[in-house]
A and B are shown apart, each in its own frame.
Chain A
Amino acid sequence: MNEPKVVVVKHEHNGGSIRTYTIGFVLSIVLTVAAYILTSKGTLSGWSLVYILGALAVAQLLVQLIFFLHMGRESRPRWNLTVALFAVMLVGILVFGTLWIMKNLQYSHTHQLTTPSQTDQLIIHDEGYGQ
């Protein structure tokens, strides 16, 4: 007689709960309102405001990835995470690469420079890099 084989049907239980969604929602609201108040009160300005707003946005990105998209809770192999990290790399190269090149180009444009290395020298001189 055949013994009945025990098969565990794995439920995709990475859906979170009311609790995790509520925590994510409250944290998101707090982070959004904090960013708004910091900006509208005008207590900070310039680069310090940009950095703090950037940090708040990244914090909210993580909150929503964890509490709404349930990242990091999938079982191995973690293909979702792998693809996401690859996307992060692409986004980084695209955004920082674009800003870097365009800043360089703008320098050479405004100062009538011809070679990239001349432009680099000028940026190093003007911005005080490497000193």
Chain B
Amino acid sequence: MSEAALERQIERQEADAKSIFGFWVYLMTDCVLFATLFATFAVLRDSTFGGPGGNDIFSLPFVLVETLALLTSSFTCGLAMLAVRRRDRQQVLILLGITFLLGLFFLTMEVTEFHHLVQEGNSWRRSGFLSSFFTLVSTHGLHITVGLLWMAVLMVRTAKQGLGRTTQRQLTMLSLFWHFLDIIWIFIFTIVYLMGRAAV
């Protein structure tokens, strides 16, 4: 490789590293958004206005399955990134496909839970507790939806154009996003679903 070509490559890598850092900064500000929603939920968790509390309407085994699905999708997303580094296009597509299906499964379960709650008259209009619950959990669900769309676009791109520089950078950002959403969900699982059983 000529010296000029090497320098160009270094410049490109530095530019990519900067974009990925920018995305990291976005994720950290998203943390702050979720923190406000968690704080709101913590304040309103007992404001049930005569309606049901968390223990009356949440099914822990159901949520455990959701959690394990998302956790596994985070793992397969990581494995997909290892395949990206090996430039193994087929492996990337298979692993991202599994990640996508697990994410879709998670989202379907979440929508099912919401549908069930609304059917029983426990919608966001019932109480402050339910308003804050729906706001927090559906904001996470909305992020998952965007992540799935992004993943679908990148899978098409990978299949059509291969693992070019831009695709690699985007996939790196997507994997950060997906791991981040998994971490947020761990806190939803703990604070919203499990801690409700502590009855304090």
A residues adjacent to B (C-beta < 8 A): 4-5, 7, 9-10, 12, 15-18, 21-22, 24-25, 28-29, 32-33, 35-36, 39-40, 42, 45-47, 49-50, 53-54, 56-57, 60-61, 64-65, 68-69, 79-80, 83-84, 86-87, 90-91, 94-95, 98-99, 102
Contact = CB atoms under 8 A, between A and B. Distances in A.
Nearest to B187: A57
B71 A29 contact: yes
Interface string B47-73: 000000000000010001001100110
B194 A35 contact: yes
A45 B194 CA distance: 11
B13 A79 contact: no
Given A45-B199, A94-B32, A7 B78 contact: no
Nearest to A87: B28
Contacts of A56: 190
B176 A53 contact: no
Contacts of B111: none
Contacts, number: 138
Nearest to B34: A91
B145 interface: no
Contact of B190 (A17, A21, A57): A57
A71 B176 CA distance: 11
A91 B82 contact: no
Contacts of A7: 3, 6-7, 10
B94 interface: no
Contacts of A99: 39, 42-43
A81 to B, nearest CB: 10
Interface residues of B, number: 50
Contacts of B60: 36, 39-40
Contacts of A22: 75
Contact of B85 (A5, A15, A40, A86): A15
B107 interface: no
Contacts of B186: 28, 32, 57, 60-61, 64
Given A42-B197, A47-B200, A80-B24, 17 more contacts: A5-B3, A7-B7, A17-B82, A22-B75, A24-B78, A29-B71, A32-B68, A35-B189, A39-B198, A40-B60, A50-B200, A57-B190, A60-B186, A68-B74, A87-B28, A87-B29, A99-B43
A95 B7 CA distance: 46
B57 to A, nearest CB: 16
